[in-house]
Structure 1
Amino acid sequence: MADPRSAPEPATIRLLCVEDNPDDVELLSLALERGDPAHTYELTRVDDATSFAEALEGNFDAILCDFNMPRFSPYAALQILVARRSAVPLVVVTRAIGEEAAVHVLRCGAKDYVTKDKMGTLPQIIERVMRDRQRAAEKERLDRELDSAYKRLKRLSSRLVAAQERERSLISRELHDQLGQTLTGVVIHLHAAERARDADAARKYHDTAVEMANAAVEQLKTLSFSLRPAQLDLLGLVAAVQSAVQRIAEPAGLTFSVTSRGEEPSPPSETAAVAMRLVQEALNNVLRHAKASHVTIRLRFLPDGRIGLLVIDDGVGFDKKEMLTGQPSERNVGLYGMIERTELAGGRLTVRTRPGQGVCLRAVL
């Protein structure tokens, strides 16, 4: 975060002078010239509420306000600033002011005060209140960013729970519809083998049960691979991605290329599994929606264990604004899932696409 104190000061400092005596404004200008020759001060004089309110339409760095005026006062000026939600700092300039009055005007919102017999300190006071304004603006900006990040974190947390439930439902369905039915068939054929009256029939039922058991093993391997490929830990991310792309793309007649740059860490970094999941989900989206003939996957291994991922297809593309507007639905749940998974891993996913021009997904993890 940049230190507000290191922010460059403006070459010309614009001051709004609330003063009924033009000669006093001239004295202010001379005092500023002598006290701070490094800067140019531009002074604009007003002497009543109307001209003050109109002048606030301009851009001023600070306000110098006389304490004793017949038609206006620093209290009235401060009320106008509050009503307009203006952050321009106001400094009271006066010939004489008691301690009680000084405390009261500061409590009402003035940033400081200076007596006219000590005008030599005015440049330092102006510099300080301008710095305070910069720090206050920086704090307000950070507070807004923090509040936005907190709200985003709450949304991500709720989406994470939903994503976990979706994955559990998918695994449950896969286990029930595929592995469960296959194992049920194994049990049925084994019971049939036991009840068979001759050896040939029993052997036939037994052989069928063995075939189905082998099929169950293959289904379990496939399901295990979709959760976390063994190649990821044994051979690394590039080999795992190559294998996953081959498993998904070849049966669908989709041509592909997988390339990498940089030195892959060993063992794989914590974000490697996230990159793997993004590739799998991106390929599934390509097969379901893109009508593509070729897909390109590029991996880049960056310093500090970061991973860059690029997935490009030559399919039909989509309207990005329409797809990502509103809440996650059956139509965009895959894309939302990729965005959420990337952000939860501390990364960022960007999507570039237009109808008829394919899709480019870029993630940095």
Structure 2
Amino acid sequence: MPKANTLLKVSNLTRVYGSLAALANLSFTLQPGEVLGVVGQRGSGKSTLFRLLSGVEMPTHGEIWLAGSPVMLRTPAEAQSLGIETVHQLPEIAENLSVLENVFLGREISKPKAVQVLPNIAEMLEEARELFNALGAEDDLIYARSANLSDEQRQIVALARAMIRPGRVLLLDDPLPVLSYERQLKLLECIRDFSDKNISVVLSSDDLNHIFAVTDRILVLYKGTPVKFCRTSETTPREIVELIVGSNRQAQVTPVIWAFENYHIAQQQAEELRLAQNTLRQNLEEQDSLNRQLIEKLHDQVEAADRLARALQEANRRLITEREAERKALARDLHDQVIQDLLSYNYQLEELENETAETPQREELVKIRDGIRQVVSSLRDVCSNLRPPTIDSHGLSAAIRSLAHQWSVQTGIEVHLKIDPALGRLPEPIELSVFRILQEGLNNVRKHANATQVKLSLRRTPTASLVVQLSDNGQGISKPINLATFSEEKHFGLVGISERVSLLSGTMKVNTQSNGGLELYIEIPSPYPSINN
């Protein structure tokens, strides 16, 4: 039984999908007005926790208590009826309704003493404007078409809907990234106001500056398991990052902390740039002298942002290098220990099979050995994905041939491969990056292209660059290709490829072909000498 002053209690909360525990044995309490921060990497169980607390899913095991009573949250409507409001990462709004109707959906304000239950539009408009102003949004958002809203505007409408009648617990599952920097600060102010009104808030965010700014306690999740539950004032960002990444190695922790801190600075600088540009436009004709000063300041800020972008790129390059090294070590351990042990057991079972006279036992041993062989085959595929052994032994050309052959066998899509015989060996980081780029490119073709044929070529140019071309005869993309839009829509295939190309100081073009399908044209400066030299 939870304490009398405990608003929310979670006991051994567990959610299992098949054999995978997305969340395991989580227990904590939440006091009235307390702000709890939830942090962790992707796959740590954060969103699973929010789905369980909001009634989207039911736990496999465990209990949830609210105000001293056990509750079963079978649906979001049940959670709302108990005073639990939720804003998810990707909020859903009714596009056939107006913005005002979305904000007050199911909570309309009725006119007093009306013959029929009629909504009090004037009072609803006033409350909605107050909320939008508190979130830094313009009043005219109320009159916008719901179907035409941007991702940021949809998030603001969802936040307003949860805040219009906040109940007792407000769950915010990473709502900040889609908001501008100014509106992020506004939302943090709203969270503090709710806390002052004894409304508890559970906030998930990847920005530790936000977490440390408003929370009373922090819950750290790692691979579905709670690893730390501490008071915010009694811990540090470095300690939290060590728990998030599961390591206290300086080489792993320092770049992550540096990226967290500088991402926050970059947001501030971007907001300053936006404000400076607005001021510049407004005063361009009236104050010529001030304009020159603003232009100079804008130039300095752009240069500072460029330096920061280069530093962030270097940090990302180090993180990718460390990740590849860890994948290589894991593949080696799997091959040298687990696979070899399994093969040894299989050999022992084979000897036992030869010594066994009884037919049923021999058949059972044969089944066990077949199972072990299948596991060994799967583990070898895992090792190959973690670190293609062909790259280390024979170089990029051989690894690409093996990748193209295996991919073609698995998908049934024909691959026409053309590799420059004079390609030679490249530095390990370049070979690995080009291999990952082609892995992701072929993966995109399999998922989205509906193609029957792929052409893949690697060649050197007279200026010593490496040119990679990947094209298919699939359905292509009808609308103009915009990587920024893909990133906002969380289509990370082409975005991830472009980031790797950028880290190699290369260029990438995505062309729509006249006969259908897409072509990736990538050119990467190479460190080896020109063919003509």
Higher percent of residues as helix: 1
| TM-score of the pair, normalised by structure 2 | 0.35
Mark the structure with the bigger radius of gyration: 1
